[in-house]
Amino acid sequence: MENYPTRTKNAAGRFLTLIKTRGPLSAAELANELGITGEGARLQLLKLAEEGLVHSESASKGVGRPVLIWSLTPLGNARFPDTHTELTRQLIQTIKNVLGKEALDNVVNAREKNQLEKYNSALEGVAGLENRLTSFAAIRSGEGYLAEWKKEGDTYYFIENHCPICCAATECDNICTSEMRTFVSILGEKMNVSRMEHIINGARRCVYKIESA
């Protein structure tokens, strides 16, 4: 079972969002997902490549000729930008240099408290793990995380394909620790949550594994 975020209405945006959320894809895979012809997908990909938003690599998929697999370029990834990147970096550095690390920790803890209160309020009355994951993914997607979830066997995975606060998290690793605590609080003590992939460590996305405790 998979639960993907809502796609944008703009044709180019749909392609870019799908590659961002699913990773590198062939033209045929994109066409199938978007319900268009393979030729239509190839033409759109060529247009995006001319704009410098995607690039392709030849890959072998079993028997037959290699196929082109399309990925986002740095310019394409920039279509999903961090929020106020430079200002965020400056503010964090200023707090650390002027007020000290303890003051920065206090700011992160205050943010965590505010986030948790907001999420708990939004999820009030939402029962069942899958319903909560669906609602939480919608909330996080609205914040720019391109969140989704899927289930494999008895294990759930909460996936964030973009991190709009990546700059802040890079400057202050306590933010990612705070995010993890928030996830645990949202999902409840009966669930074990562990981070399997991490954008800060070079992964394409952040993936959280969710299992019964």
Show the domains of the chain with their CATH numbers: 2-77 (1.10.10.10), 85-212 (3.30.1380)
Residue 132 confidence (pLDDT): 94
- Contacts of residue 138, Cβ cutoff 8 Å, sequence gap at least 6: 5, 147
| Higher-confidence position of 54 and 10 | 54
Q: Give the H or E element holding residue 58.
A: strand 54-59
Residue 6 confidence (pLDDT): 41
Confidence of residue 74 (pLDDT cuts 50, 70, 90): confident
Say how far apart CA 161 and CA 140 lie, in whole Å.
11
Tell me: the pLDDT tens digits for 135-183? 999 999 988 899 999 999 999 999 999 998 888 888 888 899 999 999 9
Confidence of residue 88 (pLDDT cuts 50, 70, 90): confident
Tell me: the pLDDT tens digits for 167-178? 888 888 889 999
Percent of the chain exceeding pLDDT 70 equals 92
Determine the residue type at 92: I
Say how far apart CA 55 and CA 190 lie, in whole Å.
43
Average pLDDT over the chain, rounded to whole?
A: 88
Tell me: the pLDDT tens digits for 98-129? 999 899 889 999 999 999 999 999 999 999 99
Q: Which backbone phi and psi does 93 adopt, to 5 degrees?
A: -65, -40
Say how far apart CA 68 and CA 203 lie, in whole Å.
22
Say how far apart CA 34 and CA 135 lie, in whole Å.
24
Q: Give the H or E element holding residue 101.
A: helix 101-122
Query: Contacts for 36-43 with beta carbons within 8 Å, 24 or more apart?
Result: 41/15
Residue 7 confidence (pLDDT): 41
Confidence of residue 12 (pLDDT cuts 50, 70, 90): confident
Residue 167 confidence (pLDDT): 81
Residue 87 has pLDDT above 80, yes or no: no
Which range is least confidently modeled, 17-26, 56-65, 82-91? 82-91
Q: Which backbone phi and psi does 161 adopt, to 5 degrees?
A: -85, -10
Q: Is the pTM of this model over 0.85?
A: no
Residue 3 confidence (pLDDT): 57
DSSP 149-203: EEEETTEEEEEES--TTHHHHHH-THHHHHHHHHHHHHH-TTEEEEEEE-GGGT-
Q: At what angle do helices 129-142 and 101-122 cross, to 10 degrees?
A: 120
Among residues 27, 31, 5, 26, the alpha carbon closest in space to that of 17 is found at 5
